[in-house]
Amino acid sequence: LRSVVKSVFLLFRCFIVIKMATSASAQLSKVVKRQYMELPQGDNVQAMYIWIDGTGEGLRCKTRTLDSEPKSIEDLPEWNFDGSSTYQSEGSNSDMYLIPSAMFRDPFRKDPNKLVLCEVLKYNRKTAETNHRHTCKKIMEMIDHQIPWFGMEQEYTILGTDGHPFGWPSNGFPGPQGPYYCGVGADKAYGRDIVEAHYKACLYAGVKICGTNAEVMPAQWEFQIGPCEGISMGDHLWVARFILHRVCEDFGVVASFDPKPITGNWNGAGCHTNFSTKEMREDGGLKCIEECIDKLGKRHNYHIRAYDPKGGLDNARRLTGHHETSNIHEFSAGVANRGASIRIPRTVGQEKKGYFEDRRPSANCDPYAVTEALIRTCFLDEEGDEPVDY
């Protein structure tokens, strides 16, 4: 009887997954679409321009035709868009400029087509408020002799179009956390097809994705980007996010970077940031790591404000001191401590060199703002709650 009940339960769960809310466009025939996607395009190239909108976390895109395949950023023309429709300007003066900044292969339209990540400038050619790349690039250039490396662990949650976590019972909750982290099996891993598709698409695009795993909460996953030097960290993470959104769009579901998508006894979603410099990676580098941590402890409030797009309000829902997080109001550090603000990996403590992990950034953080803040505090020796204007 027990085995029969279990079989019925599993069939019921499968039925729920099939019936979950997905987008109407996901039901369109991909076979019909394929015959058009395989048509030759001559020497023309489709370049999809991507930018961050006025929310600081949303992505927008549009495509233009180029006469030939661009070989570098310099081959890509500037473009413009209507900023009044992206929370970035008023309708009376809405033209904004797209400045190509990083180029990747397009895994959806395939070669020779391109994905083009852009900076946004206002009508007067000044940087838009959510264009953190511009300042980050300047800060990175000031300490490029240190060869800063970053690796960011991007957590996210797969949702139906109704906001309900993928694979969860429609009128309840799955079993408690425990079996899902790095889990295998239909009752433990929710949405692996999306994860595998995203991984391959990133590799094709040239994004420096270095791994992925199922996370602690069911329907929550993580991918890791890096190591990336300087400004390229933000470039690669933003494009990886864009690719994830597009993959989820094809499957008819939603990728959420909300730092606490489900309230209660469920893990939130962060973007743990691993950081090192040439000095840290060399023998005796632990001394430099400890000096940086001391500086970070004295500037905790500044970093909390920089680590989510709402100045810390989003992270306040996640950094509670529970579910493998530190308390947002307190700074802490420790070896192999996942409940600390800063974690020093055990191997780093043993070898006396390597890197440290800042566990405070939220899943929806701007990687440009996070990496810039780390450099400002650790190597430009800034103090106080405001960044220095150089």
If one counts every other C-beta atom within 10 angstroms of the C-beta of residue 359, the result is 24
Residues 6+ apart with CB under 8 A from 68: 43, 45
Render 93-158 in DSSP notation, one character per residue: G-EEEEEEEEEEE-TTT-TT-EEEEEEEE-TTSPBPTT--HHHHHHHHHHTGGG--EEEEEEEEEE
pTM over 0.85: yes
Same-domain check for residues 102 and 221: no
Residue 196 lies in a domain: yes
CATH of the domain at 126: 3.10.20.70
Same-domain check for residues 124 and 176: no
Same-domain check for residues 119 and 155: no
**How confident is the model at residue 17, as a pLDDT?**
43
Range of the domain at 303: 141-379
C-alpha 305/C-alpha 311 separation (Å) is 4
| pLDDT tens over the chain, length 390 residues | 566 545 544 554 544 444 679 999 999 999 999 999 999 999 999 999 999 999 999 999 999 999 999 999 999 999 999 999 999 998 778 899 999 999 999 999 999 999 999 999 999 999 999 999 999 999 999 999 999 999 999 999 999 999 999 999 988 899 999 999 999 999 999 999 999 999 999 999 999 999 999 999 999 999 999 999 999 999 999 999 999 999 999 999 999 999 999 999 999 999 999 999 999 999 999 999 999 999 999 999 999 999 999 999 999 999 999 988 999 999 999 998 888 999 999 999 999 999 999 999 999 999 999 999 999 999 999 999 999 999
Residue 355 three-state SS: coil
Same-domain check for residues 160 and 188: yes
**How confident is the model at residue 10, as a pLDDT?**
52
**How confident is the model at residue 244, as a pLDDT?**
98
Same-domain check for residues 145 and 246: yes
Domain count, the chain: 2
**What is the dihedral sign for C-alpha 161, 165, 166, 170?**
negative
Residue 62 lies in a domain: yes
C-alpha 6/C-alpha 175 separation (Å) is 14
Same-domain check for residues 313 and 261: yes
Residue 17 lies in a domain: no
Identify the domain boundary among 130, 163, 178: 130
Residue 12 lies in a domain: no
Residue 352 lies in a domain: yes
Same-domain check for residues 66 and 162: no
Identify the domain boundary among 105, 130, 155: 130
According to DSSP, the residues that pair with 358 across neighbouring strands are 273, 342
Write phi, then psi, for 98 (nearest 5 degrees).
-105, 120
Residue 310 lies in a domain: yes
Same-domain check for residues 77 and 151: no
b/e map 218-227, b = 16+ CB within 10 Å: bbbbbbbbbb
Residues 6+ apart with CB under 8 A from 337: 343
First to last CA, the chain: 73
Strand ranges inside the chain, DSSP E: 45-52, 59-66, 79-82, 95-105, 114-121, 149-159, 209-214, 220-229, 254-256, 271-276, 333-335, 342-344, 356-358
Residue 19 lies in a domain: no
Same-domain check for residues 253 and 171: yes
Same-domain check for residues 172 and 124: no
